[in-house]
Amino acid sequence: MPLLKRDLTMEQQLARAPLDLPFLTLVVLLTTIGVIAVFSASYATAVHENHAATYYFIRQAIFAVGGVAAMYVISRVNYQQLRWMSVFVLGAALILLVLVLIPGFHTVRNDGVRRWIRGIGPIPAFQPSEVAKLGVILYFAARMSKRETEKKRSFDTKTLQGRLLRFADNIGLLELLPYGVILGIIMILMKQEPHMSGMILILAGAAAILFAGGVSWGWIISGGVVVIGAIILMISGSGYQSGRIAIWRDPWSDPGDKGFQIIQSLYAVGSGGLFGVGFGKSRQAQLFLPEAENDFIFSVWCEEMGLVGAVIVLLLFVMLILRGYWIALHARDKFGALLVVGIITLMAVQVFLNISVVTNFLPTTGISLPFFSYGGTALMIQLAEMGIVLGVSRQVAPPKQG
């Protein structure tokens, strides 16, 4: 009984410990700016669809408020509980990735792409890849954090099989095998959607955790080479992806159809000038730029707020990312550090890819901008992830004395 009482007291102390205020401030600031940006980028679309001008704005604001509340609640939970939960989150993600391929469960958008589970009642449509990102991060962090405490394997070196297994264990291959199997299954499922950008994000988060967990550079580089080769093969064998590459190289080769979106995006970014045309005055958001409130919301922001406004948002993201890595460096244990590294790397890569796409630095990948792009489920999952980071920040290691 005294032990149980002591455990409960520790949980209460952790819940009351101060969270990282700079990180929290940056998250709330970016979320607030993002919701405001959704209003400006979406009101023309809402009116065109016979909704109220504030239709998308109100829905996004509701999810933002709910997400911030969930972030705070999650930040008060001892993140050690996520160790056992990681298996169930990853399992749920795999089930959802299978369901999205079954007719009746998915919605088909954009030339037959199947990335969304159909919404039911008040539950909106969502992408299983969002759950898969979190599942991979939780499971990989939980497993890698026990790396030093696992019992060393023993093999019968008198047999050829035993000697081969020992060699594979010595070079780290056996350790990486479970991670490779999980990623392989997820990649195969996501290839059927297809969802190239989601695959890249999951691989980036996984690679960050494996590297931070102590896996050698050699395996990281070798895995990167294999992944890049596989992506090239998938692109060359897919008319859907190879067509995007062709349009990326020359959007004006098909300005009225496949190149239309990126051309309008470039017009929006270029016409913003230094200070922009003013909030709510975007011309491209008036039904010229497809997905203005979603994947290409940063283009509208650049048009309305100009270079100065774009740089401010980018600086906020940079500060958030750097502060996140600071929390990881000061985490009390390896599990907390790996959790934060995976979540922050995932967000950093997603921001980079979205900005690169809307400026045509990279081919169109259908990837959203965190905290900005319209999508309630994605926003709530992103804020939940920030709650995990804040939960880790409550237990940062105390500074060394002397």
> Per residue in 269-307, pLDDT tens?
999 899 999 998 999 988 888 888 999 999 999 999 999
What residues make up the domain containing 247? 19-147+162-393
pLDDT band of residue 12 (cuts 50, 70, 90) is: low
In this structure, is residue 138 part of a structural domain?
yes
pTM score: 0.88
Ranges of H-type helices in 213-296: 217-236, 239-249, 260-271
Report whether pLDDT(318) > 60: yes
In this structure, is residue 9 part of a structural domain?
no
In this structure, is residue 1 part of a structural domain?
no
| pLDDT digit string, tens, across residues 124-172 | 778 888 899 999 999 999 999 987 766 676 766 777 777 777 777 677 6
Cα separation of 126 and 9, whole Å?
A: 39
Q: What is the mean pLDDT of the chain?
A: 85
> At 23, phi and psi to the nearest 5?
-65, -45
Weakest-pLDDT range from 195-204, 295-304, 305-314: 195-204
The answer to whether the peptide bond before residue 194 is cis (omega within 30 degrees of 0) is: yes
Weakest-pLDDT range from 173-182, 204-213, 248-257: 248-257
Q: How many domains does the chain have?
A: 1
In this structure, is residue 236 part of a structural domain?
yes
The pair of structure tokens assigned to 160 is 């050829």
In this structure, is residue 272 part of a structural domain?
yes
Report whether pLDDT(254) > 80: no
Report whether pLDDT(223) > 50: yes
Nearest Cα to Cα of residue 223 among 185, 177, 190, 189: 177
Q: Of 16-25, 113-122, 321-330, where does the model show the most confidence? A: 321-330
Model pLDDT, residue 102: 86
Model pLDDT, residue 329: 94
In this structure, is residue 111 part of a structural domain?
yes
What's the whole-number mean pLDDT along residues 372-391? 93
**Amino acid present at 122:** P
Compute, in degrees rounded to 10, the torsion defined by CA atoms 110, 96, 347, 340.
Answer: 180
Question: ∠27-29-30 over CA atoms, to 5°?
Answer: 65
The pair of structure tokens assigned to 286 is 């008036």
Report whether pLDDT(110) > 70: no
Weakest-pLDDT range from 27-36, 159-168, 232-241, 268-277: 232-241
pLDDT above 70 coverage of the chain, percent: 85
